[in-house]
Chain A
Amino acid sequence: GAVVSQHPSWVICKSGTSVKIECRSLDFQATTMFWYRQFPKQSLMLMATSNEGSKATYEQGVEKDKFLINHASLTLSTLTVTSAHPEDSSFYICSARGGEAMNTEAFFGQGTRLTVV
């Protein structure tokens, strides 16, 4: 399958600082990228959907000013957690889709473990 790469794999940051997570599609152009968050022993929760060159669409309850998403090119999307707090500690996962056909599958990055201390 197609390859989606996330960086970094893990990050530890101090409370109040901002952290940027990158998501790249390595061998295809991602028209749509998705950002998920996963707390321990829970399922993935969709945070937002972004299309290249447009503003992201956030799910209900997700603060758009706290979780800044930029999808500047067809191969790169970034998620910035601003003014991070310990409760933002989680596993963040991106996903990318290369087309809008009904049966085009999405591929996932390996995830980023964020710990805010």
Chain B
Amino acid sequence: DAKTTQPPSMDCAEGRAANLPCNHSTISGNEYVYWYRQIHSQGPQYIIHGLKNNETNEMASLIITEDRKSSTLILPHATLRDTAVYYCIVRVSGGSNYKLTFGKGTLLTVNP
């Protein structure tokens, strides 16, 4: 799996957009970018994933650069409940090689 680099922590004001960056410069063509988050003392929660195109769902938007070496997760209107550790994961292809390897992630703190 390609390695990812994320800032250890970020702060965001409630109601503002939170933009979480992730570098994955060694990503290969068949690897997806996945985002999960973990609220304290809970299991990780799936947020979004993408391959090449930008993606949007009810939780967030994922912007992937054209060269795919980096991406940004956007929470459009952050709330206090969005305070969590956010993990950016690049995953090898499916089948028996499937694995999710977690790095240290980014602790996002949403402030009132």
Contact = CB atoms under 8 A, between A and B. Distances in A.
Contacts of B45: 108
Contact of B43 (A49, A93, A103): A93
Interface of A: 1, 4, 6, 32, 34, 36, 43-46, 49, 51, 91, 93-95, 97, 99-111, 113
Nearest to B42: A110
A106 B41 CA distance: 19
A103 B55 CA distance: 13
- Sort chain B's interface into a size bin: 20 to 34
Contact of B94 (A44, A104, A111): A104
Chain A contact surface mostly: strand
A14 to B, nearest CB: 23
Contacts of B95: 100
A105 B49 contact: yes
Nearest to A110: B43
Interface in B20-50: 30, 32, 34, 36, 38, 41-46, 49
A97 B98 contact: yes
Contacts of B96: 51, 100
17 contacts: A1-B46, A6-B43, A46-B101, A49-B99, A95-B44, A100-B94, A100-B96, A102-B30, A103-B32, A103-B51, A104-B94, A105-B34, A106-B46, A106-B98, A108-B36, A111-B42, A111-B43
B43 A32 contact: no
Given A46-B99, A102-B94, A109 B43 contact: yes
Interface in B76-104: 87, 93-96, 98-104
